[in-house]
Amino acid sequence: MSAQIISGKDISADIRGELKDEVCRLTTETGVTPGLATVLVGADPASQMYVGMKNKAAGAMGINSQQITLDADTSQDELMGVVAGLNADADVHGILVQLPLPDHIDEGAIIEAIDPLKDVDGFHPMSVGRLATDSGDFFPPCTPAGVVEMLMRSGHDPSGKHVVVVGRSNIVGRPLASLLIRKAVGGNATVTVCHSRTPDLGAVTRTADILVVAMGRPEMITADLVSPGTVVIDVGTNRVDAPGTEKGYRVCGDVLYDEVAEIAAAISPVPGGVGPMTITMLLSNTVKSARLAAAR
Is residue 67 annotated as a catalytic residue, yes or no? no
d(CA 140, CA 286): 11
pTM over 0.85: yes
Q: Which residues pair with 192 in a beta bridge?
A: 164
199-217 confidence digits (pLDDT tens): 999 999 999 999 999 999 9
Q: Are residues 148 and 254 in the same domain?
A: yes
Q: Are the beta carbons of 194 and 166 closer than 8 angstroms?
A: yes
Per-residue pLDDT, 1: 56
CATH of the domain at 184: 3.40.50.720
Is 98 an active-site residue? yes
- The segments of the chain whose pLDDT lies below 70 read 1
- In eight-state DSSP terms, residue 70 is E
Which of 14, 20, 67, 98 is flagged as catalytic? 98
Candidates 121, 209, 234, 254; catalytic one: 121
Residues 159, 231: one domain?
yes
Nearest C-alpha neighbor of 217 from the set 170, 248, 252, 267: 252
Residue 281 in any domain: the answer is no
Within-domain flag for 7 = no
Specify the CATH number for the domain of residue 68.
3.40.50.10860
Domain identity same for 148 and 185: yes
Residue of 54, 119, 209, 254 with catalytic role: 54
Question: How many structural domains are present in the chain?
Answer: 2
In a domain, 215, yes or no: yes
Listed in sequence order, the DSSP H helices in the chain are 8-30, 45-60, 76-88, 107-113, 125-133, 142-153, 173-181, 201-205, 257-260, 274-295
Express each pLDDT in 41-73 by its tens digit. 998 888 999 899 999 999 999 999 999 999 999
Closest Cα partner for 80 from 111, 55, 104? 111
Same domain as 51, residue 109: yes
225 and 262, same structural domain? yes
- Residue 252, beta-bridge partner list: 238
Domain limits for position 99: 31-115
**Helices (H), strands (E): how many in the chain?**
10, 11
Is residue 147 domain-shared with residue 249, that is, in the same domain? yes
Q: Within this chain, do residues 61 and 159 fall inside the same structural domain, yes or no?
A: no
**Is residue 54 annotated as part of the catalytic site, yes or no?**
yes
Q: Are 47 and 167 part of one and the same domain?
A: no
265 with 147, same domain: the answer is yes
Task: Give dist(CA 212, CA 205) in Å, integer.
Answer: 9
